[in-house]
């Protein structure tokens, strides 16, 4: 066992996603079976009582890897020295609400947390944003943390990626592990684009295996894009266990590497690759190694994909301009 525990901050720790996420982190699902973890849990003051209850349950699990748990409502205290910050806490979308409505409500949270991370996080910190609107919240946090390299911020599109794998596996009559190189492009919103034109099913081109453009365009892509809304409709509240699971998948692969011969989808700061405006937090196909990521280059983009990639970029430009107008980013 490595002697120094990795310090992992989770915000919104008393929320729905937190209730699933914390137990998986503490059990070793994020950092592996040999790495002890110290949890730093941030909540708003009125939720601290409920969070104490969650910590009692963490105690009751007697996780061998869980070295310490600290809770609080002060970001600078909780983020002090953290190596990984999972920013989950935000106001969730409720029925009939679009992500645009959430920008203002959440802007203030991510401004303050970006500043706090900038001040007190460890030099090697990585920051993953799950709270919606995730891409633009990550942009706000990044913009308010000028001393943290921009590539240390990402927003979660791994849930969309996993949803795409599962829908495609059903259609093709295969298991998810037989599918590789699926891509979510753009925003974690209804404009996201799930691309299977570069994906492979047992080494064969996935779009060719499916051989049904109407299904891809009219069923598959919208089903993945609107899955969050479908879960809200069915459950009465937004995805929680699956969002926690995707947060674990994304964090684990970022720190320890994406699988050989495959890539993962991750919203990261654009360097202009694939014609996406520089500086947006845009989901790309990425390969990760030891806490670094690299955008997969050289994929051929046809007119169908181009239009969808541009539409989701345009939405992110709108969100960026809206938070700029609110004074949340420079």
The response to whether 94 counts as a known ligand-binding position is: no
Of the residues 161, 171, 180, 188, only one is catalytic, namely: 188
Q: How far is the CB of 108 from ligand NAI (least distance, A)?
A: 8
The response to whether 229 counts as a known ligand-binding position is: no
CA atoms within a 13 Å half-sphere pointing along the CA-CB vector of 112? 16
Please, where are the H alpha helices in the chain?
A: 16-27, 48-61, 75-78, 102-120, 134-143, 158-172, 206-210, 213-215, 221-225, 227-235, 241-256, 303-325
Q: Which of 242/305 has CB closer to ligand NAI?
A: 242
Q: Which of 136, 162, 238, 305 binds ligand OAA (CB under 6 A)?
A: 238
Q: Which of 15/36 has CB closer to ligand OAA?
A: 15
Q: Which of 11, 106, 132, 137 binds ligand OAA (CB under 6 A)?
A: 132
The strand pairing partners of 7, in sequence order, are: 38
The response to whether 14 counts as a known ligand-binding position is: yes
DSSP assigned state of 220: I
The response to whether 100 counts as a known ligand-binding position is: no
Q: How many residues bind ligand OAA (CB under 6 A)?
A: 9
Q: For the range 286-294, what are the long-range contacts, defined as Cβ-Cβ under 8 Å and sequence gap of 24 or more?
A: 286/258, 287/258, 287/263, 288/253, 288/254, 288/257, 288/258, 288/264, 289/257, 289/258, 290/255, 290/256, 290/257, 291/124, 291/126, 291/254, 291/255, 292/151, 293/151, 293/154, 293/254, 293/266, 293/268
Question: Rule CB under 6 A: is residue 93 a binding residue for ligand OAA?
Answer: yes
Answer yes or no: 161 catalytic: no
Taking the C-alpha atoms of residue 104 and residue 272, their distance in angstroms, rounded to an integer, is 27
Query: How large is the C-alpha radius of gyration of the chain?
Result: 19
Q: Which of 92/251 has CB closer to ligand NAI?
A: 92
Q: Which of 102/309 has CB closer to ligand NAI?
A: 102
93 CB neighbour count, 10 Å cutoff: 18
Positions in the binding site for ligand NAI (CB under 6 A): 11-12, 14-18, 42-44, 47, 88-90, 92-93, 109, 130-132, 134, 156, 159, 188, 238-240, 243
Q: Of ligand NAI, ligand OAA, none, which one sits near residue 231, judging by CB under 5 to 8 A according to partner kind?
A: ligand OAA
Q: Which of 103, 159, 199, 276 binds ligand OAA (CB under 6 A)?
A: 159
The response to whether 205 counts as a known ligand-binding position is: no
Contact residues toward ligand OAA (CB under 6 A) are 92-93, 132, 159, 228-229, 231, 238-239
Catalytic site positions: 188
Which amino acids are annotated as binding site, given as ranges? 12-18, 93, 99, 106, 113, 130-132, 163
């Amino acid at each position: 066992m490595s002697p120094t525990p990795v310090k992992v901050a989770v915000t919104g720790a008393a929320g729905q996603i937190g209730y699933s996420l914390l137990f998986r982190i503490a059990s070793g699902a994020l950092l592996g079976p040999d790495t002890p973890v110290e949890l730093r849990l941030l909540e708003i003051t009125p939720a601290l009582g409920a969070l104490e209850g969650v910590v009692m349950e963490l105690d009751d699990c007697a996780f061998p890897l869980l070295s310490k748990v600290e809770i609080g409502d002060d970001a600078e205290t909780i983020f002090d020295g953290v190596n990984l910050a999972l920013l989950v806490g935000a106001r969730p979308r409720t029925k009939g609400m679009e992500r645009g409505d959430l920008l203002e409500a959440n802007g203030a949270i991510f401004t303050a947390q970006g500043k706090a991370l900038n001040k007190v996080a460890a030099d090697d910190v990585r920051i993953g944003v799950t709270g919606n609107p995730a891409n633009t919240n990550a942009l706000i946090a990044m913009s308010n943390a000028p001393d943290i390299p921009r590539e240390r911020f990402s927003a979660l599109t791994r849930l969309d990626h996993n949803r795409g794998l599962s829908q495609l596996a059903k259609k093709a009559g295969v298991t998810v592990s037989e599918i590789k190189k699926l891509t979510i492009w753009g925003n974690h919103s209804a404009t996201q684009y799930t691309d299977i034109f570069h994906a492979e099913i047992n080494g064969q081109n996935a779009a060719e295996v499916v051989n049904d453009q109407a299904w891809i365009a009219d069923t598959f892509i919208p089903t993945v894009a609107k899955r969050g809304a479908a879960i809200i409709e069915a459950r009465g509240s937004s995805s929680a266990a699956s969002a926690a699971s995707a947060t674990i998948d994304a964090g684990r692969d970022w720190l320890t590497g994406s699988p050989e011969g495959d890539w993962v989808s991750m919203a990261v700061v654009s360097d202009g690759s694939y014609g996406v405006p520089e500086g947006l937090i845009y989901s790309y196909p990425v390969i990760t190694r030891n806490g670094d990521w690299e955008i997969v280059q050289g994929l051929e983009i046809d007119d169908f994909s181009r239009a969808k990639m541009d539409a989701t970029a345009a939405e992110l430009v709108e969100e960026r301009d809206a938070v700029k107008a609110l004074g949340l980013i420079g």
